């Protein structure tokens, strides 16, 4: 996929986290383990890479410069002292941690620090997490370990207590919209819509801008939901069987449905809060007219629970069936 070329890692927002880190580096109190938490696609791994650049940048000026050899190698993934574990599908395993531990026991090869970035650490196996704990207990000098996770509560407390925790919050939608227009050539309309849909998660907004299948899938989710609301029990169960075959699509679909029911809840309660799916005001008002506040509340709760269940490997089909059978039944074909 084509992306816009950049010589520097774009961190938008999270300024306080960068300032804190920079101060610690300046006074030579570099944290040996960092935990970055926040919703998916909010910029955790981007910030981790930025920190890796910061630690190894060769310039005497403001860091990271984005142009020195070290900065460029980190950006294109070829720096020998930076290890990144960012597999969306696979859990981090104990063998990989052992391999990493060996690496970290050596002095930096060409940079000042060895940096290990372990993304979505809640997905690591228990044995991998326990193995990493040993490394955190006996930190080596010139080594920085950065973990990312959605919530600290999903990690072993003993791991969390050994990390400097940084909680990243969603950006204001105006900042997301501005960044999309400034750095990724979005039109003002695209910028506003994607910023709103992203709920302040720039990573998501950027992906949706560059990969149009994301918005196409979103439109499909609305169509499917409208159909399901008119389906009988048997057809809903058949739909559950098909959709649950692909975990990634299932999760993405549940996430979109959650935004829809949340919007329906806002419309039905007459709230002044702006709906998320700005471009769907009309179809959503139509759906809101056929359902009630209690149903919308229940669906928001059920969808949140279903998304959480996915993280805990609950049977995907049963998980989805519960949601679909709880959805109201609209009249009509
Ligand atoms: Zn540099």
Helix axes 213-228, 281-290, angle to 10 degrees: 20
If you measure from the C-alpha of residue 98 to the centroid of ligand 1, how many angstroms do you get, rounded to a whole number? 30
Work out the average pLDDT over 298-326: 93
If you measure from the C-alpha of residue 177 to the centroid of ligand 1, how many angstroms do you get, rounded to a whole number? 28
If you measure from the C-alpha of residue 34 to the centroid of ligand 1, how many angstroms do you get, rounded to a whole number? 21
What are 213-249's pLDDT values in tens digits?
989 999 999 999 999 999 999 999 999 999 999 998 9
CA distances from 137 to 21, 24, 37 (A): 21, 20, 21
Looking at per-residue confidence, does 40 or 262 come out higher?
262
Q: Which residues surround ligand 1, an ion (CB under 5 A)?
A: 57, 59, 64-65, 68, 71
If you measure from the C-alpha of residue 58 to the centroid of ligand 1, how many angstroms do you get, rounded to a whole number? 5
What is the reported pLDDT for 289? 93
If you measure from the C-alpha of residue 113 to the centroid of ligand 1, how many angstroms do you get, rounded to a whole number? 13
Among the listed residues 283, 285, 287, the one whose alpha carbon sits nearest the alpha carbon of residue 295: 287
pLDDT band at 3 (very low <50, low <70, confident <90, very high): very low
* DSSP secondary structure letter of residue 245: T
If you measure from the C-alpha of residue 169 to the centroid of ligand 1, how many angstroms do you get, rounded to a whole number? 27
For residue 84, give the H/E element and its range: strand 82-85
Among the listed residues 138, 181, 129, 201, the one whose alpha carbon sits nearest the alpha carbon of residue 159: 129
If you measure from the C-alpha of residue 287 to the centroid of ligand 1, how many angstroms do you get, rounded to a whole number? 53
If you measure from the C-alpha of residue 164 to the centroid of ligand 1, how many angstroms do you get, rounded to a whole number? 24
What is the reported pLDDT for 6? 42
Contact 48, 166 (CB under 8 A): no
If you measure from the C-alpha of residue 65 to the centroid of ligand 1, how many angstroms do you get, rounded to a whole number? 4
pLDDT band at 261 (very low <50, low <70, confident <90, very high): very high
d(CA 37, CA 32): 17
ω into residue 216 within 30 of 0, thus cis?
A: no
pLDDT band at 8 (very low <50, low <70, confident <90, very high): low
If you measure from the C-alpha of residue 32 to the centroid of ligand 1, how many angstroms do you get, rounded to a whole number? 21
* DSSP secondary structure letter of residue 170: P
Mean residue pLDDT of the chain comes to 91
If you measure from the C-alpha of residue 61 to the centroid of ligand 1, how many angstroms do you get, rounded to a whole number? 9
If you measure from the C-alpha of residue 246 to the centroid of ligand 1, how many angstroms do you get, rounded to a whole number? 41
Q: Is pLDDT above 70 for 333? A: no
If you measure from the C-alpha of residue 53 to the centroid of ligand 1, how many angstroms do you get, rounded to a whole number? 7
d(CA 187, CA 193): 10
If you measure from the C-alpha of residue 226 to the centroid of ligand 1, how many angstroms do you get, rounded to a whole number? 51
If you measure from the C-alpha of residue 47 to the centroid of ligand 1, how many angstroms do you get, rounded to a whole number? 15
What are 47-97's pLDDT values in tens digits?
999 999 999 999 999 999 999 999 999 999 999 999 999 887 788 899 999
pLDDT band at 2 (very low <50, low <70, confident <90, very high): very low
Hunting for tokens 């300032």 — which residue is that? 19
Work out the average pLDDT over 249-263: 95
Helix axes 233-243, 316-326, angle to 10 degrees: 150
Measured from the Cβ of residue 6, the count of other Cβ atoms closer than 10 Å reads: 11
If you measure from the C-alpha of residue 215 to the centroid of ligand 1, how many angstroms do you get, rounded to a whole number? 36
Among the listed residues 113, 104, 107, 118, the one whose alpha carbon sits nearest the alpha carbon of residue 34: 118
If you measure from the C-alpha of residue 68 to the centroid of ligand 1, how many angstroms do you get, rounded to a whole number? 4
Q: Which structure tokens are listed for 256?
A: 């979109």
What is the reported pLDDT for 139? 83
If you measure from the C-alpha of residue 102 to the centroid of ligand 1, how many angstroms do you get, rounded to a whole number? 27
If you measure from the C-alpha of residue 239 to the centroid of ligand 1, how many angstroms do you get, rounded to a whole number? 52
> Got the DSSP string for 175-238?
HHHHHHHHHH---HHHHHHHHHHHTT-HHHHHHHHH-THHHHHHHHHHHHHHHHTT--HHHHHH
What is the reported pLDDT for 199? 86
Q: Which structure tokens are listed for 168?
A: 């990243």
Q: Which structure tokens are listed for 110?
A: 């060409």
Helix, strand and coil in the chain, % to nearest 5: 55, 10, 35
CA distances from 70 to 21, 43, 58, 75, 76 (A): 19, 21, 7, 9, 10
What is the reported pLDDT for 313? 78
If you measure from the C-alpha of residue 132 to the centroid of ligand 1, how many angstroms do you get, rounded to a whole number? 29
């Amino acid at each position: 996929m084509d992306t816009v070329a950049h010589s520097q890692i774009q961190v938008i927002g999270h300024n306080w986290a960068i300032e804190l880190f920079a101060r610690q580096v300046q006074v030579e109190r570099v944290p040996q383990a960092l935990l970055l938490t926040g919703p998916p696609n909010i910029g955790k791994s981007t910030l981790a890479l930025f920190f890796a650049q910061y630690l190894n940048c060769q310039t005497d000026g403001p860091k990271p410069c984005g142009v020195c050899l070290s900065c460029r190698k980190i950006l294109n993934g070829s720096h020998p002292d930076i290890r990144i574990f960012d597999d969306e599908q696979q859990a981090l395993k104990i063998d990989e941690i052992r391999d990493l531990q060996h690496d970290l026991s050596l002095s930096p090869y060409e940079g000042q620090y060895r940096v290990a970035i372990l993304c979505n650490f809640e997905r690591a196996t228990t044995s991998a997490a326990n193995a990493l704990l040993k490394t955190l207990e006996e930190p080596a000098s010139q080594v920085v370990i950065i973990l990312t996770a959605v919530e600290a509560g999903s990690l072993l407390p003993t791991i969390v207590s050994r990390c400097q925790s940084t909680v990243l919050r969603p950006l204001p939608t105006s900042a997301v919209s501005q960044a999309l227009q400034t750095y990724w050539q979005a039109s003002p309309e695209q910028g506003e819509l994607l910023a709103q849909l992203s709920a302040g998660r720039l990573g998501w907004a950027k992906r949706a801008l560059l990969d149009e299948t994301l918005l196409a899938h979103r439109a499909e989710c609305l169509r499917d939901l409208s159909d399901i609301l008119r389906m009988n029990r048997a057809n809903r169960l058949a739909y559950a069987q098909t959709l649950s075959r692909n975990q990634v699509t299932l999760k993405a679909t549940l996430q979109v449905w959650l935004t829809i029911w949340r919007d329906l809840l806002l419309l039905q309660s007459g709230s002044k809060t702006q709906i998320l799916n700005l471009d769907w005001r009309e179809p959503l008002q139509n759906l809101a007219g056929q359902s009630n506040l209690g149903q919308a509340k229940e669906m928001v709760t059920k969808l949140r629970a279903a998304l959480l269940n996915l993280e805990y490997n609950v049977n995907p089909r049963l998980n989805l069936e519960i949601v679909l059978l709880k959805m109201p039944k609209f009249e009509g074909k």
